[in-house]
Amino acid sequence: MDTPKTLIEAVRFFSDIDRCNEYMERVKWPDGKIVCPKCGACGDRIGKIKTRKMLRCKDCRKQFSYKVGTIFEDSPLGLDKWFVAVWCITNAKNGISSYELHRALGVTQKSAWFMLHRVRLAMQEGSFTKLTGTVESDETFVGGKAKNMHASKRAERIKGRGPIGKAIVHGVLERGGRIIAGVVKDQKRVSLQPGVRDNVESGSTVYTDALKSYEGLDDEFTHEMIDHAKEYVRGDIHTNGIENFWSLLKRCINGTYISVMPWHLKSYVDEQVFRFNERKGDDGERFDEVMTRTVGRRLTYAELRGV
């Protein structure tokens, strides 16, 4: 089965539910042996109910759909809509809002918002490979601008310099390669240095700004610091690469999503990290990559809302 290359091709290709099921079968059981989620029977012990577009185990007699064991499980929406949603979310450079998705698919805004978070779960990195070579480390602040707040809100939230009251995202970028980023609680050494030590191969070259929290990394890495109060580039020593990623992240959040709750910020960071790391692939390759990650992951609405 050849994956479509454009959005219009994807809409036409996945409009056939049988083709969607065939694609899910290839993703979930690449060896061709369908496995019962209840008793573990496989192979010729699994039959297909063509009239209901479902599967049936001949041993335990359980009926199950192709969605079981994926982020699509228990969703009343068909895979034809889900696949188009995954395509749009994966390949929209600056993201796609829940309102835009609800208009495009003909679902409610609430359903579209839930779909977005399920797909973001699938976009999370599953690799444990460490970054090597020349690596840049930096952090950024995400939150509303003080000038845009009502005077009473500004007086309530802004108690110090600009970053006070904002969420902090820390990342490490391998030049010409991948980025690993996540939300941290503060800028202290115990919060930032583990992100470098756990994700960067020992002996690599690490460039950071002059924040004191990065001092001490030279015991494991070749560490160079650049003081942004004096200069931004000194030969090869700079953090411009990861600064570029921060601009992409904030363009996505400020331009498309507008308002992001702090407890959901990690999901939005994961979404942009995936797009950055898969930037060299085409739309079809990014779609295939996300679909392979949908298996074995599940997010319920109660979990999403913290109920």
Report the C-alpha gap between 92 and 69 in whole angstroms: 26
pLDDT (tens digit, 9 = 90+) per residue, 166-184? Answer: 899 999 999 999 999 999 9
DSSP state of 129: P
CATH number at residue 175: 3.30.420
Q: Do 160 and 69 lie in a common domain?
A: no
Tokens of 80: 């034809």
Domain count, the chain: 2
Task: Count Cβ atoms within 10 A of the Cβ of residue 67 and give its class: 0-12 exposed, 13-18 middle, 19 or more buried.
Answer: buried
Q: Tell me if 95 sits within 8 A of 85, measured CB to CB.
A: no
Residue 266 lies in a domain: no
Percentages of the chain per state (helix, strand, coil), in multiples of 5: 45, 15, 40
Residue 216 lies in a domain: yes
Residue 2 lies in a domain: no
**Cα 129 → chain centroid:** 17
Q: Do 113 and 228 lie in a common domain?
A: no
Q: Do 110 and 65 lie in a common domain?
A: yes
Angle between helices 79-91 and 17-28 (to 10 degrees): 70
pLDDT (tens digit, 9 = 90+) per residue, 203-245? Answer: 999 999 999 999 999 999 999 999 999 999 999 999 999 999 9
Q: Do 214 and 291 lie in a common domain?
A: no
Range of the domain at 189: 134-260
Residue 271 lies in a domain: no
Q: Do 111 and 147 lie in a common domain?
A: no
Kindly report the pTM of this predicted structure. Answer: 0.89
pLDDT (tens digit, 9 = 90+) per residue, 92-148? Answer: 999 999 999 999 999 999 999 999 999 999 999 877 789 999 999 999 999 866 666
Q: Are strands 63-64 and 222-226 parallel, antiparallel or unpaired?
A: unpaired
DSSP 1-29: -PPPSSHHHHHHHTTSHHHHHHHHHHHH-
